[in-house]
Amino acid sequence: MINKTEINTHLEYLGYTTDLNNNDEIYAAKPGCPSIIVETYEHMIVIRGAYNKNSNALNDRLGFLEYVNRLNKNSRTALFTDQGESLGLYTSMYGPYQRNTFAVMMRAWEYDLGEYIHGREMTNVYLSPDCPEIDKELLSIPENDRILA
């Protein structure tokens, strides 16, 4: 069985504020990263998180799904999914907890959720709360017929 205390200590070392709750899930938060939930199973560690969508993502489902596909195409470890009101984030590590392997996974996770996602042009359009709304009339025009200003 994977030792949650070791993982909790490792997350604290990496700068996360952690809380090991009654269900033995680890809730962790770090400035600049979304809050995460770490779950452990007999031979697997699962990390989940989410970014809230803005109205553009909710109104332009096709565009948002294209954005999610582009994120998944080049991410190092994170799997990005549409979770209704949010952009879901997921990764997992199989096998026993090993400090070096977990550290490499967390570096890749933090890259995907920091520099990688924020370097994408459409991140502000779909995730930023202060982004201007996309013209809804433009969304009803097939993509091939849209005229870019």
At 17-72, the pLDDT tens digits run 999 876 779 999 998 888 999 998 888 999 999 999 999 898 899 999 999 999 99
Query: In angstroms, rounded to a whole number, what is the distance separating the alpha carbons of residues 44 and 93?
Result: 6
64 close to 50: Cβ distance less than 8 angstroms? no
Q: pTM of the prediction? A: 0.82
Residue type, 81: T
Q: Which residues contact 87 (CB under 8 A, 6 or more apart)?
A: 50, 51, 52, 53, 57, 68, 80, 81, 126, 127
